[in-house]
Amino acid sequence: MAADYFVGVEGGASNSFYVIVDRAGKVLSTTSGPGINPWLIPVDEVAGILNDKIGQLKTAIGVPTSQRLISIGLSMSGADSDLIKASLREAVNKKEALQADHYYICTDTFGSIAAAYGAKKGGIVLIAGTGSNCALVNADGSSANCGGWGHLFGDEGSGYDIAATAIRLIFEISDRYVACPAGSIDLLRQKMFEYFKVQTPSPSLKDMLNHFYRDFKKDFFAGFALCVVGAANEGDEFANYVMSIIGERLGRHIVGVSPSVKDDGTGPLSVICVGSVWKSFALFKDSFLRVTSTLNRPLELVKIKAEVPIAVGAAALGAQDAPVQPAFDFANHVEVLYNSAA
C-alpha cells in the first residue's frame, strides 16, 4: 500500500533537485544532486541517482526506502522524447526506492510551469541556466516550444551561450576577423586564461584548444559565464556588449512561442523565468525588452520564490492522475521580476 507521500524531481544538465511532500502540500524534506539529463549520462545511471536521492528523502522523514509512494514526478531536461521516457520508466521500475502508484515524466519546462501555477493551468516558461529552453503550455493542453536543442545547435541565452559568445568573439577579434564592437577584449581575455588555468609564461589562444576538444566539459565551460557577468557588473564595455546579445537571444524565445498563445490578448503576457542567468537580468534587460516590445502587449516576468523548492512542480504533475493531490498554495509560489505596467 502506498504511503501518503508525493515526490518531485527537477533535473537539468548540471544539477538536480528533489522534494517529498504530504497531502497538505507541506514540504517534508529536500535534497539535491548532480545533473541527470539522459542525453548526457546513461539512463541506468540516471535511475541510480534517482534511487539514491529519493531513498535519502525517505530516510530523512523516517520511512523505509522500500515504502511505496503515491506518485513520482520526473521533470528533466532531455526527457522530451517517447524513447527516453520509455527507457526511464523501465529503469525506474527496477529500483527499490522508486516504486509508486503513479508516474509522470516530462521535460523540465513543464515542471517549472507547474511549480508556479499548478498542473492544470499552463503558462510560458523561459529557462536560462547552463542551457536554455522555452515552452508554452495552454490551458487546453496544447503547447509550443522554442529552443532547447542543446549546446551545439541551441542553448541561446544560457550560461553556456554567455561563455561561448564571449570566447568566440575574443578569438575572432584577436584574429582581426571582426572588429571589436565595444571597449576592449583585454580584461575578459585575461579572465579567460585565469579561469581555464592557462599558466604558460606567455598565454596564447592555442593553449585553449585542449578545453575545446580533448578536455571539453560543458558545465565547466559554461562556468566562465560568471567571469563575463562579473566583468559586466564592473562596467567592462565588452562584457556588457556580450550580455546585450544574450538579452536579445532570450527575448526571441518569447517571440517564437507567442503566436501559439491561446488567450483573449487583453492581459499581460506572463513568463516564468527560471535559471541562474536571470540573476543578471539588469545586465540584459534593455536588449531583452527591445525584442519583446515587438509583441505589442504588456509583459510580466515572474520568478519562483527562493523558498519554494522548484521540484514541487514535478510533484504536482506526478500526482495529477492520482486519487488525491498535494494541496499546494500556488498563489504564493511566484514573485514579480518585471512588469511593463508598473
| Position 2 pLDDT exceeds 70 | no
Mind listing the pLDDT tens digit for each residue in 46-72?
999 999 999 999 999 999 999 999 999
Exposure string over 88-126, b if 16+ CB within 10 A, otherwise e = beebbeebebbbbebbbbbbbbbbbbbbbbbbeebbbbb
Mind listing the pLDDT tens digit for each residue in 101-134?
999 998 888 888 888 888 777 789 999 998 899 9
Report the chain's mean pLDDT, rounded to a whole number: 91
pLDDT band at 210 (very low <50, low <70, confident <90, very high): confident
Tell me the residue type at 245. I
| Position 170 pLDDT exceeds 90 | yes
Mind listing the pLDDT tens digit for each residue in 231-289?
999 999 999 999 999 999 999 999 999 999 988 777 788 899 999 999 999 999 999 99
> What local confidence, expressed as pLDDT, does residue 342 receive?
66
Q: Residue 100: beta bridge partners?
A: 69
12 vs 317: which has the higher pLDDT: 317
Question: Distance between CA atoms of 191 and 284, rounded to whole angstroms?
Answer: 21
What share of the chain in percent tops pLDDT 90?
A: 60
In this structure, what are the phi and psi dihedrals at residue 230, rounded to the nearest 5 degrees?
Answer: -60, -45
- The answer for 136, left when phi > 0, alpha when psi is -120 to 50, beta otherwise, is beta
Question: Distance between CA atoms of 131 and 164, rounded to whole angstroms?
Answer: 12
Question: Distance between CA atoms of 45 and 33, rounded to whole angstroms?
Answer: 13
Give the other-Cβ count within 10 Å of 325's Cβ.
19
Mind listing the pLDDT tens digit for each residue in 16-25?
999 999 999 9
Contact 181, 167 (CB under 8 A): no
| Position 1 pLDDT exceeds 70 | no
